[in-house]
A and B are shown apart, each in its own frame.
Chain A
């Protein structure tokens, strides 16, 4: 009975948290849209100038017609209001460069980026946590030093350099893995083929975060293992393994989960570089091209969707946090 009440109460708290986070997300999204809209319009050069330049259009009447077509004759504040209104109707605008709706252009590239982000975060989390646990369990031993040195290396190594070095070693010298792309051109596309292509970019992007998680996890494990409830668990005669896995690890994960949520945005940013090095056909490449061509609708579309991904990830982190630490219900 008590357990049922506790479960129901937990669900209730979770729903309340979810509702609160969604309400908080609305002004956040509005801020993201307004700030990005203003920032990108402050940059010199516009997509219309680049478009007329590429098409060698010099006739003032044609340029004016294009300005009207793309709604650029309106004052900036009105353009912003129209953009927000369109967004509310899930209309992200039209990309002149790709000659298709923005949402379609992003949809072509988004799955590749999500795959890279999820695999990198998963790798970082698994490797980082495992390395942190090992380092804390073998504190002040060779293992601890080894984890520290390796973590320091991957933390200090720029991801683009790491990516190129891995290409040289695993693709060029050893020939084990492909240089880049997402699948073998003209004959790939199976799960194994995609995984082979995914491995190096995932390592290049994920190992940096794994290094952070390893360091945080180590110190968190050491801190938690000094707490009273751990001492009690040991006094009860639980094995070292049981104490570590069931008592210390779960509580030590809290700071790692917290920074994981915060870092979703930087992982998305990091994928721009990694996608370039590995020719990974994701949103990062699209974003790079779109910024270079002042393709405002696509840039804004990616920013808005990126913000949504980060917000969703942070809500998920909050829920996981609550699961890891039931005391959050009380607060």
Chain B
């Protein structure tokens, strides 16, 4: 949690309940209670499938991450630890990693997990779907015995990269005996998954909820504490707030209620709100310049776009303070790679106007320099509001703006397939490892027509491409950090696509819920240790 967040919590923005009844206090003081049913929800809709091999967005990640597990896990303190793997070790040349698997791990159907399952998952699922962009240099696996897997790469692979790979996203270990020989995308098991996780799938009542029951043969002895986990879907934020208040839901992750309801609910003393549990999945609102438009091929014009927008105003008015102005494509909570020593594009309309004048775009007789099409992706309602503030800011420096807020399919098509925009307000979710999740927005290999959340601005330079190639294979952590710092300096100066805001996601929970928000990507964690106090 950032200092800003701590201050907000301390000053009662989300209530004293956080401190009094929040995370560590009661959990340490009380013996975990066994049994009971926890009902959870999240700030979105029902997934298209319980598990989607490519991820498919936050909703299927939320539902599948309780059933499947990864080889590793990242702790709140930033350290990596084994989950289905006991450990992993790099070869001297960093071109391969030997993964030692945990013994005695069983799938929900009783079959033991072996190296064959891991090799299948990496070859057929990660490489093709779940981590295709990250595994460009993947060269195959070897399985010398049932509990050892050697993962090979064509080039040296940094340890942080590998650890992030095996601990993140939907890089799960799937049962080979269920998936082999089938199309993983359409396999019926995706709607009733069989994993190794603490929860076993029981039923999916479409339009309503998932019901999971305790996996009795779970490898973490004594876990989970609860008997049942229900994931319930309520489309409307006001309905979620009411369900929390009525005690029908115990916990909601990823902004389950509208910001004004956060204060109201925490004010009752029955709920806590926390921004913990999102450190590995920070969402940002991005502002992208389409460099296919000759106007935006000039760096000064791109810089001016950002300087014309009052990001602090957006954070205050659109997000009620649950956001902070973005500065770098590496989010500010990223302890490994973030630097504040970058080119600043802070709000400064006078400087923006001067840059535009210098770039050869003075105001004409009608008071306008040029007119642009601004597209605010309509998948989050906040984007439309941000679009209005951005429009106002740009008009103040003499830029005419045609603002549109299309729905999700249209936004995806216009931004990532047709490149039909001059400026776009979109969103990104970034883990700590910058390659490729963050770097792909600035490299030529990130330009993939029709694939969303990649390089839509069209920006690329040999300098950035070469630097990212070096970051990809640099195994010395200090040198790698220096390269990522250099990367941030270059792209903030070039400004083809920068975050307007870093969003602060909120989890809202009843004070009865213990051991929650204790993973840096809590929505995607297994929730094996969560419990309900009496």
Contact = CB atoms under 8 A, between A and B. Distances in A.
Interface of A: 43-47, 49-50, 52-58, 63, 97-99, 108-109, 112, 160, 164, 167-168, 171-172, 175, 178-182, 185-186, 276-282, 285-286, 288-289, 292-294
B181 interface: no
B186 A49 contact: no
Nearest to B54: A55
10 contacts: A43-B410, A44-B414, A45-B409, A56-B451, A99-B190, A180-B239, A180-B243, A276-B235, A281-B208, A289-B46
Given A172-B242, A179-B248, A55 B208 contact: no
**Chain B residues touching A, majority SS:** loop
Nearest to A273: B236
A292 B52 CA distance: 18
A109 B206 CA distance: 8
Contacts of A99: 49, 186, 188, 190-191
**Closest 9 CB pairs between A and B?**
A281-B207, A45-B409, A45-B413, A58-B451, A44-B410, A55-B54, A58-B448, A179-B243, A53-B452
Interface of B: 37, 39, 45-46, 48-49, 52-57, 129, 132-133, 185-186, 188, 190-191, 205-209, 211, 228, 230, 232-236, 238-239, 242-243, 245-246, 248, 406-410, 412-414, 416-417, 448-452
Contacts of A278: 239
Contacts of A182: 208
B510 to A, nearest CB: 14
Given A55-B129, A56-B133, A185 B209 contact: yes
Given A172-B246, A279-B208, A164 B412 contact: no
A180 B234 contact: yes
Nearest to B213: A186
B190 to A, nearest CB: 7
Given A44-B409, A46-B409, A186-B37, A54 B232 contact: no
B238 A164 contact: yes
Contacts of A293: 48, 408-409
B235 A50 contact: no
A186 B230 CA distance: 9
A49 B188 CA distance: 22
B56 A54 contact: yes
A285 B239 CA distance: 14
B43 to A, nearest CB: 14
Contacts of B228: 186
A213 B397 CA distance: 56
Contacts of B55: 54, 56
B207 A53 contact: no
B45 A185 contact: no
Given A168-B242, A179-B248, A54 B211 contact: no
A97 to B, nearest CB: 5
A186 B211 contact: yes
User: Which has the most chain A C-beta neighbours within 10 Å: B190, B230, B242, B414?
Assistant: B242
Nearest to A283: B207
Contact of B132 (A46, A56, A289, A292): A56
A175 B133 CA distance: 50
B451 to A, nearest CB: 4
A53 B416 contact: yes
A185 B186 contact: no
B206 A45 contact: no
